[in-house]
Chains A and B, each alone.
Chain A
């Protein structure tokens, strides 16, 4: 690899690390603070409930340890143990959070930490392993695998008929808008939801079109990992899908969208590259 490509690769990785910590750390900390009980044990909490980790002082120690590990991860220090403990703490926090019955569907966050740990472990075991490529590619694979699973779940449960949602989709819209009404007491949410649901009930072709695109994007997501240009296109497509779901269904952007943007699009890297490009263009035109 030539030095310029190596620098670019390192910058890309630093941008991914910074962005991933920025999107995953706040939600992980919120989950740790809200994990008050364990009425429906899930994940590792089926074996042990990790109660002391989430007691009044325990949750702050857990969060503190997680944040210190995030700093070590950004600084690229002791990556095998750092990513191992990040994976372990993430699994404990998300399992405990899901054991409350109220969950953010944040599975992907742990999967990304585990895949990055495996990349560094393979590098430790086999120095010829291309860590410069796979530490990013494994993270991308983790996100893509979760989307592929979502696509497979739809095909398994409903088959290709999933795209012909019929009256079920407008009913879901009503449900999601009613969340906003029952939370706030503001009746305008119900009115907006009803108008939108009614419009889509009368125009089923619109739902069919968007659901078909969503299904294709999810089922074939792993295939996009091969090529950076396809990955970028796929990332933009998935981002549009999430924005569309948020706008139509009256819900927030789901958690998986954030690491997806980091690993598929890497906006921080694109911005830095864009600024460098403009600088070089501007510098050249100044020198002329």
Chain B
């Protein structure tokens, strides 16, 4: 029975072990999406000078989901923890600038973005309700 199990699953088991050892290096992965539920969840949006939301997909081929992925990749590539980023204002603005550049890189020629602000918004449960906290990361000028 044990021989049958190991024979039938040998490749799958090998892949699992190698992925656990190697980590994130395609085609290996630890598949860590939603492996924990931190008490707050964050994402990003862009607004005009009056802080009115600018619908991202109207101006850019990027989606808000994509912006969040981009931010996480930037943070991992720069080896910056979330805590460090929150404490270091210039680094935080640098992250916002990187996001703004990426959004501009993918903007539609027919709907050019003027000046806009990059916001980070946090959602969290407090007592029996859901709250949010909003922070301006960076102000992007049209000529950037």
- Decide yes or no whether A174 CB sits under 8 A from chain B: yes
CB of B41 within 8 A of CB of A149, answer: no
**For this complex, into which size category does the number of interface residues on chain A fall?**
35 or more
Q: Which B37-85 residues sit within 8 Å CB-CB of chain A?
A: 37-46, 53-58, 62-66, 68-70, 72-74, 76-77
Q: How far is the CA of A83 from the CA of B74 in the complex (A)?
A: 34
- Decide yes or no whether A202 CB sits under 8 A from chain B: yes
Partner among A95, A141, A182, A197 whose Cβ is within 8 Å of the Cβ of B11: A141
CB of B130 within 8 A of CB of A183, answer: no
A-B contact count (CB 8 A): 188
Partner among B15, B77, B123 whose Cβ is within 8 Å of the Cβ of A178: B123
CB of B15 within 8 A of CB of A40, answer: no
Segment of B28-36, B86-94, B107-115, B136-144 engaged in the interface with chain A: B28-36
CB of B26 within 8 A of CB of A98, answer: yes
Chain B: how many interface residues by the 8 Å CB criterion? 63
Q: Known: A44-B26, A149-B29, A225-B9. Is A171-B74 also a contact (CB below 8 A)?
A: no
- Decide yes or no whether A101 CB sits under 8 A from chain B: yes
B residues in contact with A154, CB < 8 Å: 34-36
Q: Known: A101-B73, A167-B124. Is A174-B12 also a contact (CB below 8 A)?
A: no
Partner among A148, A175, A185 whose Cβ is within 8 Å of the Cβ of B123: A175
| CB pairs A–B below 8 angstroms (29 shown) | A101-B70, A101-B72, A101-B73, A107-B31, A110-B26, A110-B27, A115-B11, A141-B11, A141-B12, A145-B12, A145-B15, A149-B31, A150-B35, A154-B36, A166-B37, A167-B125, A170-B130, A175-B123, A178-B45, A182-B46, A183-B55, A183-B63, A185-B54, A185-B55, A185-B58, A201-B125, A202-B128, A222-B9, A226-B8
B interface with A by C-beta (< 8 Å)? 5, 8-9, 11-13, 15-16, 19-20, 24-46, 53-58, 62-66, 68-70, 72-74, 76-77, 102, 105, 121, 123-126, 128-130, 132
